[in-house]
Amino acid sequence: MADTPKLTMPEISESQASKYLTHNEALRILDGLVQATVKDKDLTTPPGSPSDGDMYIVGSPTDSNSGDWNGHDDDVAYYKSSGWVFWTPQEGWRVYVQDEDTAYVYASASSGWQTEGSILAADFTDLGDTPSSYSGQGSKLLRVKSAEDGVEFTDNSYDIGSSFNGKPSASEVLLRIPFTRDVNFPDDLSGSQGVLGTAPTAQADFAIKKNGVEFATMSFAGSATTATFSTSSSDEDFTAGDVLTVEAPSSQDATLADIGFLLKGTKT
């Protein structure tokens, strides 16, 4: 008599007698394995007074098992009135363990039963180096490391840039942008960049303001075409509705021209 390939349910042969026995056995398998739930997965000896239909995952290792469960570690045990029936799990079987309120998936003969969450995480990353904690990582992004051997948390960047062709007039507004989300700019605008096409004759300071109040400066030294940045406090937080402006120096420089800048921030 042949069995089905996945659940090993007995098939009824054409000339078989007592077909109802084979049919009932197949129904028992369906009853046990469809939407499978077990009472426990750590017992190594059978419970004393099981009820018909009770199911367990037999605990490991084999040498700890006794009685009817001996040699059946990791098998799914199903009790019916005549005794225990065992099903050898296949990779991917999912069973809900009632005493733990946790779903388990059978990973392999070597790995055994694993919590569903750990299986999904392993399938997603398949990497050996992963963050050990989410603490303090709110709003950050998770990315694969450049070495491609793990994942790491990284800041959620929010960079703001602009450019201006030619010579700005005194105190001309080069950028005005409203915010729709929370953004933090670090001390001295670390990581920001500013460049000129033509250097100034003397130091030129551009005011960077929050709601009209200066909190940072982008400075170009005389004859320099790259900027330095400074802030009046350690860092600056913007929230939805705040407005950032960048203004040219209050006195127009004779040569300064063609400005480009990028202010590096982080979504919070």
Q: What domains lie within the chain, and their CATH numbers?
A: 35-122 (no CATH), 157-267 (2.60.120)
Judged against a pLDDT cut of 70, whether residue 130 lies above it is answered with: no
Confidence (pLDDT) at 193? 98
Judged against a pLDDT cut of 80, whether residue 129 lies above it is answered with: no
Confidence (pLDDT) at 3? 60
Taking the mean position of all CA atoms in its chain, how far away is CA 162? 33
- Asked whether the beta carbons of 61 and 72 are under 8 A apart, the reply is no
Record the tokens describing residue 137, joined without a space: 């990582």
Phi/psi at 146 (5° precision): -60, -30
Residue with tokens 């509705």: 241
Cβ contacts of 72-81, under 8 Å, gap ≥ 24: 73/44, 74/106, 74/112, 74/113, 76/32, 76/33, 76/36, 76/38, 77/46, 78/28, 78/32, 78/53, 78/54, 79/50, 79/51, 79/52, 79/53, 79/54, 79/55, 80/28, 80/52, 80/53, 81/52
Confidence (pLDDT) at 82? 79
Judged against a pLDDT cut of 80, whether residue 31 lies above it is answered with: no
- How much is the mean pLDDT over the chain? 87
Q: What is the pTM of this model?
A: 0.53
Confidence (pLDDT) at 141? 84
- Asked whether the beta carbons of 84 and 69 are under 8 A apart, the reply is yes
Q: Of 56-65, 90-99, 171-180, 197-206, which range is least confident?
A: 56-65
Q: What is the mean pLDDT of residues 71-77?
A: 91
Nearest to 148 by CA among 125, 119, 132, 120: 125
**Which amino acid is it at 204?**
A
Confidence (pLDDT) at 113? 92
DSSP element (H, E) containing 176: strand 173-178
Q: What is the mean pLDDT of residues 234-238?
A: 94
Of residues 119 and 110, which shows the higher confidence score? 110
Nearest to 112 by CA among 141, 75, 79: 75
Polymer length in residues for the chain: 268
Record the tokens describing residue 266, joined without a space: 């982080």
DSSP element (H, E) containing 25: helix 19-33
Confidence (pLDDT) at 118? 73
Nearest to 92 by CA among 109, 69, 71: 109
Judged against a pLDDT cut of 60, whether residue 217 lies above it is answered with: yes
Which residues lie across from 247 on neighbouring strands?
173, 207
